[in-house]
Amino acid sequence: MKKYLKDNKKFWSTGYDALNVESVIFRLQGRILGPQFSLPKKNPKTRLLEFGCGQCANLNYFHNMGYEVKGVDISKMDVKKAKKRYPHLSKKIECINSNPDEIKFYGWESEIDVVIANQSLYYLDRKEFQNCINKIYRQMRKGGIIYASMWSNRHTYYKHSKKTDNDWLREVKFKGKRFKISSYHTFFIKNKRDLLSKFKNFKPIHIGRYFMQLEEKETNNDHYVFIGIK
């Protein structure tokens, strides 16, 4: 396994306690998936895959909205906690290998209607990222929707990162109030053109951004949003 994958897996091995639904997820359903695409549908149920489901607050929300859901994540700790917290979803959550090269498919082999990748795709290098995107694209039905949020280079972590031997990834080291990042590897989006190039498999529907910083000392979590269609 590549060093960057080992470092990232080690970081996520302790889990990440995000117990509430992200506000952007409510907006995604309320402003786009629902009114613009009439989702979810009932017969057959709309298939939704969350890539990087963590402790499954978002996945449970979509389940309650009426989607047929599956979630995948590399953190054994998060998957364990999710299955305990949402026993009704335990058979729909899977801990996966951090290397896309070792995985045949995510969730369902085909006919996925919606893919949610909330802050989860920027931990892969160029080769593995493209491999992952290609897999997801193949698994989606024609007309399927993908949502992905991606760190911008205005995010606080960019200031606490440095170049590596990998021309795609930067190494982040950060110590804040809530947690410490000893070392993990990620990439940042420079601009709209850069974002579109990462998701060139898909036809873009909406390009957005979100930003949250309640305290001056808090990290700036600036993210680009890509919403596209197969």
35-52 pLDDT, tens digit per residue, is: 999 999 999 999 999 999
58-107 pLDDT, tens digit per residue, is: 999 999 999 999 999 999 999 999 999 999 999 999 999 988 889 999 99
DSSP three-state, residue 46: coil
Q: Please tell me the pTM assigned to this model.
A: 0.93
Q: Which two tokens stand for residue 160?
A: 């606490």
Q: Which residue ranges form the domains of the chain, and what is each CATH number?
A: 3-229 (3.40.50.150)
Query: Interior CA angle at 208 toward 38 and 169, to 5°?
Result: 120
Count CA atoms closer than 13 A to 184's CA, side-chain side. 17
Q: What is residue 12's predicted lDDT score, i.e. its pLDDT?
A: 74
Is the peptide bond preceding residue 100 cis, with omega within 30 degrees of 0?
no
**Cα 82 from Cα 11, distance rounded (Å):** 18
135-174 pLDDT, tens digit per residue, is: 999 999 999 999 999 999 999 889 999 999 999 999 998 8
